[in-house]
Amino acid sequence: MSRLTKHLVWTAANEPAPENVRTRFALAATTRGTAAAQPSIAAAALCPETIHLDIALPAREQAVYLLHVGAEVEHALMAQYLYAAYSLGGPQLSEEQQKLVRQWRDVIVQIAREEMAHWVTVENILTLLDAPLNFEREDFPIPRDLYPFAFELEPLTKRSLGKYVLAEMPAEDVVKKLGLEKKIDEIRKYVGGAAAHDTCTVHRVGIIYGTIIGLFHPPVSPQEPPKEPPAFIRSEDILAASGRFQVRPEEWGLGYKDLLIGTAVDRSTAANAITAISIQGEGSDIDDLQTSHFGLFLDIYDKFPDENGWRPARSVARNPTTDDDAPPDRRITHPLALRWAELFNLRYRMLLMFLVHSFDIEAPVSTSQRTSRGLLISWTFGEMYNLRSIANILMDLPLRENGSELFAGPPFEMPYSLALAPRESGRWRQHRDMLQASELCIGGLEEEDTAHAGYLKGLQTADHDALDQITVLLGGL
């Protein structure tokens, strides 16, 4: 059990919520808040599950807790979807199969990008509440009750697609309206059936967001004066001026500026932003089914071969790691693959640190102005492309030296810390140090992997430019 799952309780909707002396207020508040949520998303009474907190917290802190859960969920989904997408392909495919697999890969990579935009939206809402942000993610092994399903970096299979469908699906009433009840039941049986790698319970992501939305909706006629802390977020807990620190869609260039990134200035716009990312994930009716994550995954699932058919993905390891103490079937020991995996982990940390730092700097009045915040956002996008390039290399490198048939794959290992230094100068030194660490990794790879010398040289040049800019910034602090 992690710290974040310690007080999170999933229960069947037709079962009474667990209650004790500590939780009576918290559960009552959650129930009243959820009831006020918009029915197209929340619909808690119609879902097979609902969530509760087994600790007494006022409404704002409940929202912060659940937004932290939401941030970790979006982060975890993004990593898993990227790993699944990168696993697709290989020499075992015919030309026609390669064409189909490339289409699937493009769709899943786009979904992963949109999950990152959802993640940023969650951070924006936390910023609105003047609350601490959360860019963390549990490392393997993952507590089962935190994420919609047990975290797995795995090659794409029909079963893993089934998990993605179930996690992204809308409420039961929407499933019924779409005429997909039988299909969803079949997927549930397939995901948890005898062919499954392990027992699997999939929670629906929308339940988390439905509960959060409810906390932003005050009742029509609130009691005056309230007999207890209100079961909704008060207007004085909203930091309207936080908009200057929220990430705006127009700041995300390089083909990403059309992503759905919600900003908020009050309770209503906060609820609308969360509703929008929920709809993009699960869809709300037949009109947006085909563009929702649920609909897109369902379409791929219907066309994807089962375990007896052709194999769209490479034979890559499940949950690969650089950890010396991990089981042999997960541990990357091939020398060249290990060096690339270490570089991948470092660039992953750099991406996260750039993103964390960007929320700490006020946005300029005009997005055309060159600022240190813009620099960090630009570098964040650069690392997205670097992770894709390095992941593709790792997908073609062996896991072990001893002739293993498994390929390595990108480990997506969380760093020891994402904490920013307390002063601005220290933060830029953190970025400088990571760039210098990357220089050491690249130096070792240049000697061993001449096949990728061009990519390494380009990465090195970009890093030198970044170091020069950090030197200038440090001189002005």
Tell which wins on pLDDT, 252 or 122: 122
Whether 28 shows a pLDDT value over 70: the answer reads no
pLDDT band at 459 (very low <50, low <70, confident <90, very high): very high
13-17, 128-132, 153-157: which range is least confident on average? 13-17
| Number of other residues whose CB lies within 10 A of the CB of residue 131 | 20
Burial class (CB in 10 A: 0-12, 13-18, 19+), 388: middle
CA atoms of 467 and 465, how far apart (whole Å): 5
| Number of other residues whose CB lies within 10 A of the CB of residue 22 | 12
Highest mean pLDDT among 191-205, 326-340, 359-373: 326-340
Cβ proximity of 233 and 267 under 8 Å: yes
pLDDT band at 7 (very low <50, low <70, confident <90, very high): low
In DSSP terms, 88 is beta-bridged to 313
What is the pLDDT averaged over residues 46-57?
70
Reading the block at residue 349, the tokens are 């940390």
Asked if residue 141 has a cis previous peptide bond (ω within 30° of 0), the answer is: yes
Cβ proximity of 199 and 42 under 8 Å: no
| Number of other residues whose CB lies within 10 A of the CB of residue 261 | 26
Cα-trace Rg, the chain: 23
Structure confidence at residue 231 (pLDDT): 82
pLDDT band at 221 (very low <50, low <70, confident <90, very high): low
Residue carrying the six token digits 């959060």: 212
pLDDT band at 342 (very low <50, low <70, confident <90, very high): very high
In DSSP terms, 12 is beta-bridged to 49
Q: What percent of the chain has pLDDT over 70?
A: 79
In DSSP terms, 321 is beta-bridged to 331
pLDDT band at 55 (very low <50, low <70, confident <90, very high): confident
Whether 417 shows a pLDDT value over 70: the answer reads yes
Q: What secondary structure does DSSP assign to 306-338, as a single string?
A: -TTS---B--BPSS-B--TTS-TTTB--SHHHH
Whether 37 shows a pLDDT value over 50: the answer reads no
Helix (H, G, I), strand (E, B) or coil at 440: helix
Structure confidence at residue 39 (pLDDT): 34
Q: What percent of the chain has pLDDT over 90?
A: 58
Structure confidence at residue 247 (pLDDT): 87
| pLDDT tens for each residue of 64-81 | 999 999 999 999 999 999
Whether 453 shows a pLDDT value over 90: the answer reads yes
Q: What secondary structure does DSSP assign to 415-435, as a single string?
A: PS--PPPSSHHHHHHHHHHHH
Q: For residue 52, which of 37, 38, 33 has the smallest C-alpha distance? A: 33
Whether 46 shows a pLDDT value over 50: the answer reads no
Whether 29 shows a pLDDT value over 60: the answer reads no
Whether 236 shows a pLDDT value over 50: the answer reads yes
Helix (H, G, I), strand (E, B) or coil at 398: strand
What is the pLDDT averaged over residues 355-373?
82
- The conformation of residue 142, written as its DSSP 8-state character, comes to P
pLDDT band at 148 (very low <50, low <70, confident <90, very high): low
pLDDT band at 381 (very low <50, low <70, confident <90, very high): confident
Residues with Cβ within 8 Å of 15's Cβ and at least 6 positions away in sequence, in order, are none
Structure confidence at residue 402 (pLDDT): 79
Whether 329 shows a pLDDT value over 90: the answer reads no
Structure confidence at residue 26 (pLDDT): 44
pLDDT band at 15 (very low <50, low <70, confident <90, very high): low
Cβ proximity of 6 and 145 under 8 Å: no
Whether 9 shows a pLDDT value over 70: the answer reads no
| Strand ranges in 70-186 using DSSP code E only, listed in sequence order | none
Whether 195 shows a pLDDT value over 70: the answer reads no
Burial class (CB in 10 A: 0-12, 13-18, 19+), 154: buried
- The conformation of residue 407, written as its DSSP 8-state character, comes to B
- The conformation of residue 14, written as its DSSP 8-state character, comes to T
Whether 286 shows a pLDDT value over 90: the answer reads no
Mean pLDDT of the chain: 84
Whether 43 shows a pLDDT value over 50: the answer reads no
Cβ proximity of 431 and 418 under 8 Å: no
Tell which wins on pLDDT, 413 or 225: 413
